Amino acid sequence: MPVADTAAPLLSVEGVHKSFGAAKVLAGFNLILHAGEMLSLLGPSGCGKTTLLRLIAGLEQADEGRVVLDGNTVDGDGAWVRPEDREVGMVFQDWALFPHLDVAGNVGYGVPRRQRTAEVSKTLELVDLPGMQDRTPDTLSGGQQQRVALARAIAPKPKVLLLDEPFSNLDTALRREVRTEVRELLRDADMTAVFVTHDREEALALGDRVAVMDAGRIVQAGSPSEVYHHPVTPWAAAFVGAVSMYPADAAGCAAEADFGAIPLHESCRGPVDVAVRPEAVDLHPDVGATASHTVEHIEFQGADAMVTVVNHVGARLLARVGGTRKLAPGDRVTPVYSGSPAAAFPRTETG
Amino acid sequence: MRCLRLKSLSVRSTALRSPVLLKAAAIVVTVGFAFPAGYLVWRNFTFQSDPLGVLFSQRTRGPLLRTLRLAVLVSASTAVLGTALAWLTTRCDIPLKRIWQTLLPLPLVFPTFIGAAALIRTLNPGGLLSDWLGNLGLVWEVEMRGLFGAWLALTLFTYPYVYLPVAARLRRLPGSAEETARLLGDSPLTVIRRVVLPQTATAISAGILLVFLYAISDFGAVQLMRYDTLSRAIYTTRLNNQPVSMALSVILLVLAAAVVLAERGATRRFEHMAPVRSRSPVIYRLGGAKPLAVAFLGGTVALALLGPLASLGDWAIDGIRLEASGGRDLLVGWDDVWTPTWHTAYGAILSAAVAVAVVLPSAYLAVRYRSRIGTVANAVIVSAFALPGILIGLALLFWTLKTDLGSHLRNTLALLVFAYIVRFGGQTMRTSQVAVAAVSSRLTDAARTLGAGWVRRFRSLELPLMAPGLLAGGGLVMLSVMKELPITLLIAPFDFPTLTTKAFNSIEEAFVAEAGIWSGVLVVLSGVLTWLFVVRRADHFD
């Protein structure tokens, strides 16, 4: 969703520091979220994602910096708004359904008593669980529990919805289906949401924007395609998807690798490593003994195959090729770059 | 019920600042729990001309040695008996398993003085057993008194403290370990020695600890059997020789403390042995030994449960029949039964409710907030459980007699309830901690993000989730208070007769019919509670 930069953000996290004992979890964290936006926070385990969500919800207090929600400072500058007064919804990783309450009791927990019955049935319609009011959480399937947790969080109409790895407890097949549903549902409800995950596919599929996080900071934030195609560090490139860092010589808006030219999205000069996504590489079979690379390894993945090829000095390149291609380790091939302009990083001579 | 093992039941990774109110409550409660023991020591060393002289005199040596002798013997016999019974009923192909499992914990319903009185009635020459044997032309001449009588009574009525945790542990041991040992070439007996017993050791030692503490603090059995241990000597000297009574009390206090400290040290070594849940324990075939095993179980139930019940009934029926046929009038009318029964139930329920309420803040602090104050409060409250009742009773009695502040509380129900809570409140600590830990911080966090303040969270979320655990802890307190004797004898208000005081006085004054009636009512009441809170929940004892 395009958002005018001039609009005041709904949520801003400004220079937040948070430590637990000696462990620094957030180190000067900044984040801005506009109304109606869905943000994916992507990062490895232990990078501070969950702590950030808990800070926004008020379940933790920042050591430094501030959190501003809808124009009010809720944490920092001496201000403190308790979580129960923040109107921030949260879907927990293990869903945290109240085991002693039925579905209606769970979903209606945050709704004022008078509107409870009506709100509960409306929200249950929304998450596609109509008529399930009387069921207890332990009689529901994983996917249903997940939707009850979501319904409980959105029923009080929070200003911001926080989702902490909400699909990690579902099996892989279900996960893809549920996340599409959830995206549509939050979009229909015009919900502003922050969604935390360590699964890159999930992050790219769900977010209007993706923020890649590491060690308590945001490394890069942007649209999913921006983050995927134009990573700002080699680490971010590798974290967002499969990539080979391939040596080349940059000369302006292209870099010359040993198998041919790679277009760059930002002009650059000198020895570089180019972040090459596997799907941007095609492999041409050996014709006339001119091939520069040898097939080292093939991982068959069904529709396609991930092929690792290596040049005569040992530089490796990943290529995603059709699953029907007949290749075997030891075959001689020539890679051809066919993707969009790539990101290049100046070489550090120590490598 | 391993109250003394306070492994941290952590539910929260980050320390939270604990609320001031909780801390204040925990501190007040801790001071309350420490007060009787503290007062006893302070008084002993400030009101006597030669405290150490009395402490190490000949007058204290005899009772101390007798106490130790009794406690060691009872611990050994209950360890063997309780473990054997647990093994047979959980791991062997015994017929009517459910019935044995229900009956075996039930001797807990007898306060030891009632049990001891019933044993005397059943087993002494001239008692029920010798009557029956007499009909067969046999003579029975074993007299129930002294060390032997006290040992038998305590063994029969406290072995469930070993039986319950060991049975719970045996039920949960994973069968795979035993099967592996068999596959590696061990015989069944070797498997028991090398695999089962080592894994059961913590449960056995936890049970032994309880029995040992029970034995050194027991007053009822030793009083009836006329065996002069520390607690009986304290009781008999309390009026005419206070310095000796006080000195004996301090010795008993030190003994109890030493046991608890020793247990702490021993537990630390075992801490790595986490209990494992298992659905299918290995069942051993007894083969030809089965009749012998059944006879052993039957004998235990007969001696510890059916015999005493029969003799109580025998007393009561004898008395009622005698009155009906125009003999001596019973000193109780049916109307008189109601008042002490009500007092007993009321005192027990009140104490249990207040005990749960006062222990809860400390459990919260220790589990939810990992606070140092919580840890200290836990240690004090749980240690007070090792404090013999006679010491608490005596300390509070002297306090009300010798101080202005205390005199206001003389003969009040409040003081009695306070004493009961100090004595038994520790029993709720473990269950309270488990209850608090059962409320995951995720759930309270979720409730907070849904706008629930702490009052609503406590009422709608934490209390319902904790209720089963709190109820179980409260039930244990209720049961213990009902059977409690020395505190009740020493400080219950004059106008507050309970079933225990009625029964004890009837037994001591040899009004056997009345003794049978009071004891019968008490045993039935506590039997219902034992079933509700102990037998039904036997698995929770591990």
A174 and A57 within one domain: yes
Clarify whether residues A218 and A280 are in a common domain: no
Do A46 and A29 share a domain, yes or no? Answer: yes
With an 8 Å Cβ cutoff, is A80 touching chain B?
Answer: no
pLDDT at B494: 86
Q: Is the pLDDT of residue B72 over 90?
A: yes
**pLDDT for the residue A263:** 93
Task: Count up the domains in chain A and report the number.
Answer: 2
The 10s digit of each residue's pLDDT in B184-213 is: 878 878 888 888 888 888 888 888 988 998
> Would the pTM count as exceeding 0.80?
no
| Residue A258 pLDDT exceeds 60 | yes
Backbone angles phi, psi at A295, to 5 degrees: -70, 125
d(CA A95, CA A147): 9
> Can you give the pLDDT at residue A15?
92
Quick one: tokens of B223?
């009083």
Pairs of CB atoms within 8 A across A/B: 63
Q: Do residue A188 and residue A283 come from a single domain?
A: no
Could you tell me if A345 lies within 8 Å of chain B, comparing CB atoms?
A: no
CA gap B450, A85 in Å, rounded: 9
- Chain B residue numbers with beta carbons less than 8 Å from the beta carbon of A57 are 445, 448-449
Query: Based on the domain organization, do A207 and A313 belong to the same domain?
Result: no
| Tokens matching residue A278 | 């596997």
pLDDT digits (tens, 9 = 90+) for B224-255: 888 989 889 888 888 788 778 888 888 888 88
**A70 shares its domain with A207:** yes
Domain boundary residue, one of A174, A209, A238: A238
Q: What would the DSSP string read from start to end of B180-203?
A: HHHHTT--HHHHIIIIIHHHHHHH
A108 domain-assigned? no
Whether the pLDDT of residue A6 is over 80: the answer is no
What residue spans of A30-137 are helical by DSSP H? 49-57, 103-107, 116-126
In order of start, what are the domains of chain B with their CATH numbers? 18-45+335-497 (1.10.3720.10), 48-327 (1.10.3720.10)
Q: Which residues contact B283 (CB under 8 A, 6 or more apart)?
A: B91, B92, B93
B448 in A contact zone (CB under 8 Å): yes
B277 CB contacts (<8 Å, ≥6 apart)?
B172
CB contact under 8 A, A153 and B450: yes
Mean pLDDT estimate for chain A: 89
Does A191 share its domain with A301? no
Segment B1-17 mean pLDDT: 39
Q: Using CB atoms, pick whichever of B13, B448, B465 lies closest to residue A100.
A: B465
Mind listing the pLDDT tens digit for each residue in B118-132? 888 877 777 777 777
The mean pLDDT value for A298-321 works out to 90
A98/B445 Cβ within 8 A: no
Instruction: Tell me, yes or no, whether A165 and A198 share the same domain.
Output: yes
> Residue B447: its chain A contacts at CB < 8 A?
98, 109
Q: Region A10-28: what's the mean pLDDT?
A: 91
Q: Does A83 touch chain B (CB under 8 A)?
A: yes
Instruction: Say if residue A189 is in the same domain as residue A332.
Output: no
Find the CATH number of the domain harbouring A32. 3.40.50.300
Distance CA A65, CA A82 (A): 17
**Mean pLDDT in residue range B316-331:** 72
Please report the ipTM that was assigned to this predicted complex: 0.81
Percent residues over pLDDT 70 in chain A: 96
Three-class SS state of A244:
strand
Query: Final residue of a domain: which of A213, A238, A263?
Result: A238
B382 vs A66, more confident: A66
- Whether residue B5 is predicted with pLDDT greater than 50 in this model: the reply is no
The whole-number average pLDDT for the span A258-278 is: 91
CB of B226 within 8 Å of a chain A CB? The answer is no
Among A340-344, B137-141, B264-268, the range of highest mean pLDDT: A340-344
Helices B58-91 and B230-237 cross at an angle (nearest 10°) of 130
Distance of CA B21 to the CA centre of its chain: 32
Most B CBs within 10 Å, among A25, A74, A88, A92, to test the B interface: A92
pLDDT band at residue B91 under the 50/70/90 scheme: confident
Given A57, A60, A100, which is nearest B449 (Cβ)?
Answer: A57
Together in a domain, A186 and A202: yes
For residue A189, give its domain range.
Answer: 11-87+158-238
Cα A173-A176-A180 angle, rounded to 5 deg: 145
Residue B26: name the closest of B456, B420, B366 by CA: B366
Residue A342: band (very low, low, confident or very high) from pLDDT cuts 50, 70, 90: very high
| Domain co-membership, A219 together with A309 | no
- Predicted local distance difference test score (pLDDT) of residue A87: 92
* CATH number of the domain within which A334 lies: 2.40.50.140
Please check whether residues A173 and A299 belong to one and the same domain. Answer: no
Residue B541 has pLDDT above 60, yes or no: no
Query: Would A180 be classed as within a structural domain?
Result: yes
pLDDT of residue B3 exceeding 50: no
Nearest Cβ partner for B448 among A84, A156, A158: A84
Distance of alpha carbon A229 from the chain centroid? 14
Q: Please report the residues numbered 124 through 153 in chain A whose beta carbons come closer than 8 angstroms to any beta carbon of chain B.
A: 152-153
Identify which of A193-207, B33-47, B128-142, B278-292 has the greatest average pLDDT. Answer: A193-207
- Does residue B331 surpass a pLDDT of 80? no
Does residue B377 have a pLDDT over 80? yes
The mean per-residue pLDDT over the stretch A15-33 comes to: 90
Cα B115 to the center of its chain, rounded Å: 14
Residue finishing a domain among A187, A203, A238: A238
